[in-house]
Amino acid sequence: MKISLLGYGKMGHEIEQIALERNHNLIYKINFDNKDFTPNVKSENTDVVIEFTQPDQAMENILYCLENHIPIVCGTTGWLDKLEQVKTWVKKYDGSFFYASNFSIGVNLFFHINQYFAKVMDKYPEYDLKMQEIHHIHKKDAPSGTAITLADGILKNYSQKNKWTDAPSEDKKDLYIESIRTDSVPGTHTVRYENEVDYIELTHLAHSRKGFATGAVHAAEWLHGKKGIFT
């Protein structure tokens, strides 16, 4: 399969390595320094684009790929408030689009466990719930897309909280997500239920970016030849 990368930072390099290991061809590797090459990415030379950039660049890249009938896998977070606009584009251009807040297989298992855990803990209101996410200092959005997905999964199954917040709140119905930016941490997410006698904690800790990159390449392989919007 012929893959082009929009975004060739640390994640892009990891994706490149996985793609080559899986016998794919890397056609273009475009970053901020050579973004003028983006118009060279065409459906004639690229089967799928994998996009890992920044929130302010993602919408432009998504629209470009859909307009030019290039399937796109998007791993950038921080743009989901514009998802309805993207859905309109996918329909308008009969496009192929795959997005996720996190492409790691382990994190997606964590999402499922988190929802089940919330459903069980909803029967025990004596426990309070807190969340924390830790990432490297270069991550622009906070809370992370992964943390928001975890929070959304909790809110669907846990009646003790009404909404998530990114700042401490006096309202006990608010689910506070603490965001920490430090060093080169790939990503750590923790969901913690606590009362005065004990606590129960779920944590996913990424050792490296390899899991995210592997999942993104799998998504690209799956998307090839399909139409619509997927996650």
Does the structure show a pLDDT above 90 at 89? Answer: yes
Give the Å distances, CA to CA, from 124 to 9, 131, 160, 174: 44, 17, 9, 17
| pLDDT confidence bin for 69, thresholds 50/70/90 | very high
The predicted model gives 191-215 an average pLDDT of: 94
Does the structure show a pLDDT above 90 at 140? Answer: no
pLDDT tens across 152-172, in order? 999 999 999 999 999 999 999
Active site residues: 135, 139
3-state secondary structure the chain: CEEEEECCCHHHHHHHHHHHHCCCEEEEEECHHHHHHHHHCCCCCCCEEEECCCHHHHHHHHHHHHHCCCCEEECCCCCHHHHHHHHHHHHHCCCEEEECCCCCHHHHHHHHHHHHHHHHHCCCCCCEEEEEEEECCCCCCCCCHHHHHHHHHHHCCCCCCCEEECCCCCCCCEEEEEEEECCCCCCEEEEEEECCCCEEEEEEECCCCHHHHHHHHHHHHHHCCCCEEEC
Instruction: Name the average pLDDT for the chain.
Output: 95
Q: What's the token pair of residue 133? A: 């996410």
Angle at the Cα of 177 from the Cα atoms of 174 and 182, rounded to 5 degrees = 160
For residue 180, the cross-strand partners are 134
Write down the pTM of the prediction. 0.81
Does the structure show a pLDDT above 90 at 106? Answer: yes
pLDDT tens across 22-48, in order? 999 999 999 988 989 999 999 999 999
Q: Enumerate residues 6+ apart whose C-beta is below 8 A from 188.
A: 132, 133, 134, 135, 203, 204, 205, 206
